[in-house]
Copies of this chain bind each other. A is one copy, B any other.
Amino acid sequence: MSDAPTRTQLSEDQLPTHWVNLIPHLPEPPPPVLHPATQEPITPDDLAPLFPPALVAQEASDEPRIPIPEPVRDVYRLWRPTPLHRAHRLEQALGTPARIYYKYEGGSPAGSHKPNTAVAQAHANAEAGVQRLTTETGAGQWGSALAFACAQFGLTCEVWQVRASFEQKPYRGSMMRVFGGTVHPSPSDRTEAGRAVLAKEPDHPGSLGIAISEAVEAAAADDVTRYALGSVLNHVLLHQTVIGQEAQAQLAAIGEEPDVLIGCTGGGSNFAGLAFPFLADRLDRGGQGPRILAVEPAACPTLTRGRYAYDYGDTAGLTPLMKMHTLGHDFVPDAIHAGGLRYHGMSPLLSHVVELGLIEPRAYQQSDSFAAGLAFARTEGIVPAPEPTHALASAIEEATRCAETGEERVILTALCGHGHFDMAAYDAYLAGHLEDRGHDQTALEAALSALPAVDR
């Protein structure tokens, strides 16, 4: 074991005071979001029925730093600042000279990074007199985060959960109820959008796109209800930048600078949360800073195989048109894919950054990802959610290369949540039921399965 600390912590008074807005740092702004009817750029007025004024302002802001309201920081203090871990025991098992750091967000109320924005959104809505929030959720990380956040500000929370997940992961719904929320399987018979899908296919397993349609429709029903989105939009990515800012302070405290930064991407918010503060600094310093990798599942390869085009955020076409990497707004990943990150599109801002060549997308098979998750759990003692195992697979591959070349690279990754509600996926992997289509065991998976015990 090296002398470097296993966990670098920050004190409560080092909690960030601002969110970091990447947009003013970019060489060119992202393409406008278009109104679905007129195909003209949307205005703040267009967003007002869905979102409260503070969030609409953040969505279009070009201020480089946006203050975090004190009531939001008060709630953040329940679990923030989060620790930065040095993966000593994983490094030892890999025999690598690389130094691997991970920022761990699993200690939050919902067990992931999602409450960082849920709390900010619930607060902004409560300030605006909103009484009820609706949203969609897939595996349930976001729904449970929003249910918790609503409880902090006296809001009612109503969640549409993708039916397949609602049935396969019932305990995420339990968590929403424990926090005081209500959850419906989607497609449901409570909305026109849901009823239309059920009419064609009564057993439809659901998708994030459909659940978004239902939640958006329900939010439009009255004046005291608004909609909350857990990823994709600029203001959501903005709220997550507390992660990267803390990581910068923590690395500075131990005298480290990352050579490569690796995050997983579904809608993009966890990735942006860690990466954007580093990218903003890199752009300001003429390019000096880490290489940045955005890792996605091969079963939902939005950045690596999607088209960069205007598309809807939801299946029914109720949202504005966003220019993004998309697999088509009616895309549903194979049922065999258990690794999360199933959204058909990608954050327009993150898509734009990829188009500018500022970050590199990568796709990983889920068998490699779960193998990485197991190796991580057995060495570091945290069972990761399936989503960040994609980033871990990439980080382990990078560290393994360092073991061959002898390079002492500093690798930084985001462990965005624990896998306590995803154990069935690990069971399926351990039972050999998660073979990727047309994919044999890779060299990476074989190497990981042969890892020795950590030490004696």
Interface residues of A in 372-430 (CB under 8 A from B): 374, 377-383, 418, 420-421, 423-424, 426-427, 430
Residues of B within 8 A of A171 (CB): 420, 423-424
Minimum C-beta distance from A202 to chain B (A): 26
0/1 per residue, A435-456, Cβ < 8 Å to B? 0000000000000000011111
Q: Is the CB of A423 within 8 A of B178?
A: yes
Residues of B within 8 A of A75 (CB): 381
Residues of B within 8 A of A381 (CB): 75, 78-79, 108-109, 115, 148
Q: Is the CB of B426 within 8 A of A109?
A: no
Q: Is the CB of A12 within 8 A of B1?
A: no
Copies of this chain, tallied across the complex: 2
Take A6-B12, A12-B5 as given contacts and tell me if A423 and B174 are in contact as well, using a CB distance cutoff of 8 Å: yes
Judged by a CB distance under 8 angstroms, whether A153 is at the interface is yes
Q: Is the CB of B71 within 8 A of A78?
A: no
Residues of B within 8 A of A174 (CB): 423-424, 426-427
Contact of A426 among B79, B108, B178, B378 (CB under 8 A): B178
Q: Is the CB of B154 within 8 A of A420?
A: no
Contact of A77 among B6, B79, B456 (CB under 8 A): B6
Take A11-B9, A78-B89, A148-B381 as given contacts and tell me if A177 and B109 are in contact as well, using a CB distance cutoff of 8 Å: no
Q: Is the CB of B7 within 8 A of A454?
A: no
Judged by a CB distance under 8 angstroms, whether A49 is at the interface is no
0/1 per residue, A31-50, Cβ < 8 Å to B? 00000000000000000000
Contact of A453 among B5, B7, B115, B154 (CB under 8 A): B154
Minimum C-beta distance from A157 to chain B (A): 12
Q: Is the CB of A175 within 8 A of B423?
A: yes
Judged by a CB distance under 8 angstroms, whether A180 is at the interface is yes
Residues of B within 8 A of A180 (CB): 378
Residues of B within 8 A of A7 (CB): 12, 77
A175 to B418, CA, bound (A): 12
The residue in chain B whose Cβ has the minimal distance to the Cβ of A9 is B9
Interface size class of A (residues with CB under 8 A): 35 or more
Q: Is the CB of B383 within 8 A of A455?
A: no
A174 to B383, CA, bound (A): 11
A1 to B70, CA, bound (A): 11
Q: Is the CB of B453 within 8 A of A151?
A: yes
A79 to B85, CA, bound (A): 10
Judged by a CB distance under 8 angstroms, whether A201 is at the interface is no
A350 to B85, CA, bound (A): 36
A104 to B138, CA, bound (A): 29
Judged by a CB distance under 8 angstroms, whether A179 is at the interface is yes
A151 to B381, CA, bound (A): 9
Interface residues of A in 64-114 (CB under 8 A from B): 71, 74-75, 77-79, 85, 89, 107-109, 111
5 more contacts with CB within 8 A, not counting A78-B380, A154-B456, A174-B426, are A6-B12, A153-B455, A178-B378, A178-B426, A418-B420
A-B contacts, 26 of them at CB < 8 A, read A1-B74, A5-B77, A7-B77, A9-B11, A75-B381, A78-B85, A78-B381, A79-B381, A89-B152, A108-B381, A109-B381, A111-B420, A148-B378, A151-B379, A152-B454, A152-B455, A153-B456, A154-B456, A171-B420, A174-B423, A174-B427, A175-B420, A177-B427, A177-B430, A178-B377, A180-B378
Task: Name the 4 nearest CB pairs between A and B, nearest first.
Answer: A109-B381, A154-B453, A174-B423, A171-B423
